[in-house]
Amino acid sequence: MKVSIPDIGDFESVEIIELLVSEGSVVEAEEPLLTLESDKATMEIPCPADGVVTALHCAIGDRVSQGALILELDTGKPVAEIESKSAVRPEPVEPDSSRAPGPASTPPAPERRESTDSVPHASPGIRRFARELGANLHQIPGSGPKGRILKDDVKAWIKQQLDSRTTDPGVVAGIPPVPEVDFTQFGETELLPLSRIRKLSGPHLTRAWLNIPHVTHHDEADITDLEAFRKSLKKEAEDAGLRITILSFVMKVLVATLKKYPVFNASLTPDGASLILKKYYNIGIAVDTPNGLVVPVIRDVNRKSILDLAHELSDVSERAREGTLRTEDIKGGCISISSLGGIGGTGFTPIINAPEVAILGLSKARLSPVWDGTQFSPRLMMPIDLSYDHRAIDGAQAARFCAALAHAFGDVRRLAL
């Protein structure tokens, strides 16, 4: 049986960063065979059936797309029978260095790092890591197979640069890493590995925080009448099998405000010289899952009703917690919402989901005494926190945007305008 790369969405020419089997490996259906890494995600390719790997047609560092042949599998005998004849299953091994690309008649030569014109041999994840630290991959020798640059190589290079620095701070490349500490010297510890989602989102958040000049504007909105209207829809929602939360209204108010202030519905060009104004309204919603935070995108919010949005929110939130979101479910957002209203807090500073230029944070609404001109009245006030990219948006624009948001929240009739 020939095993090829299955449908991996719209990813093309994705690098193999890890081989989990070798020739002779006994594998079961759904067991991972190899790991692919693009600039946006890491994914494992599962085995389609039980069997034994008889031939490998790929190696670490190869780039593959849907349909590429990766190995051959003998499915003639049940795995249980195969394993009963072998006390030890073959361990995955690194591919032979003779698989390095090159003419068949010419023995493979070691990759060289002296030329700055060549492309350093490193995975996208290592390239991101090096960029975040300001490390020059052209100057880093690789210790991995076929001269591949590993994370430890980047760390060692950074350490060498720091150790050799002079009093001139300009010679220090990158950001010094946090020193390692042996915490067991202070007491008992336990190692808790990060989930895959946190491992993937961590570098993205770091990159956004280091590259975007974040500023956060804090305000509050009177949602007394909006909350009363939401509760009045309870019967209609139950008839439709839905639960309408304040978030559906927030999305509609946000779109109405984005139309008035299009600079918030934009992204900077890579050179930072222009803004790309978007004519569509796709909103990312941060969802808290057992494995970490994910941000599925609700598309064309401007064209959907409150009930439509409630249905989609319920659907993507459930799939996010089950880990069944598709690649397209997390792409194409214009602006994101991070709501802590169901938990608490009086305000926070959300990190912008690059390449977006702003993110709206919501905290728990509270009854507060508000002066109406003659007396104090109890009003339900919701804290709003807008983090924005100061390269694209200035403080006055952010203040006006939040004021417009608060005004719209205060009168739900404006949603129909």
Angle between helices 306-322 and 246-260 in degrees, nearest 10: 110
Q: Is 138 a catalytic residue?
A: no
Out of 57, 204, 214, 390, pick the active-site residue.
390
Count how many Cα atoms sit within 13 Å of the Cα of residue 342 in the half-sphere of its side chain: 8
Sheet (strand 14-19) strand order? 42-46, 32-37, 14-19, 63-64
Per DSSP bridges, beta strands 266-268 and 42-46 are: unpaired
Tokens, residue 88: 């030890």
Separation of alpha carbons 223 and 366, rounded Å: 10
Angle between helices 124-133 and 151-163 in degrees, nearest 10: 20
Strand boundaries in 198-339, DSSP class E: 214-222, 266-268, 275-277, 283-285, 287-289, 292-294, 297-298, 335-339
Separation of alpha carbons 217 and 41, rounded Å: 31
Strand boundaries in 345-413, DSSP class E: 358-362, 366-371, 376-389
Burial class (CB in 10 A: 0-12, 13-18, 19+), 181: exposed
- Whether residue 209 contacts residue 395, with contact meaning beta carbons closer than 8 Å, is answered with no
Burial class (CB in 10 A: 0-12, 13-18, 19+), 98: exposed
Residue found under tokens 């790929």? 58
Separation of alpha carbons 31 and 404, rounded Å: 52
SS (H, E, C) 175-214: CCCCCCCCHHHCCCCCCCCCCHHHHHHHHHHHHHHHHCCE
Separation of alpha carbons 329 and 314, rounded Å: 14
Tell me if the bond preceding 355 is cis, omega within 30° of 0. Answer: yes
Helices assigned H by DSSP within 114-187: 124-133, 151-163
Catalytic (active-site) positions: 390
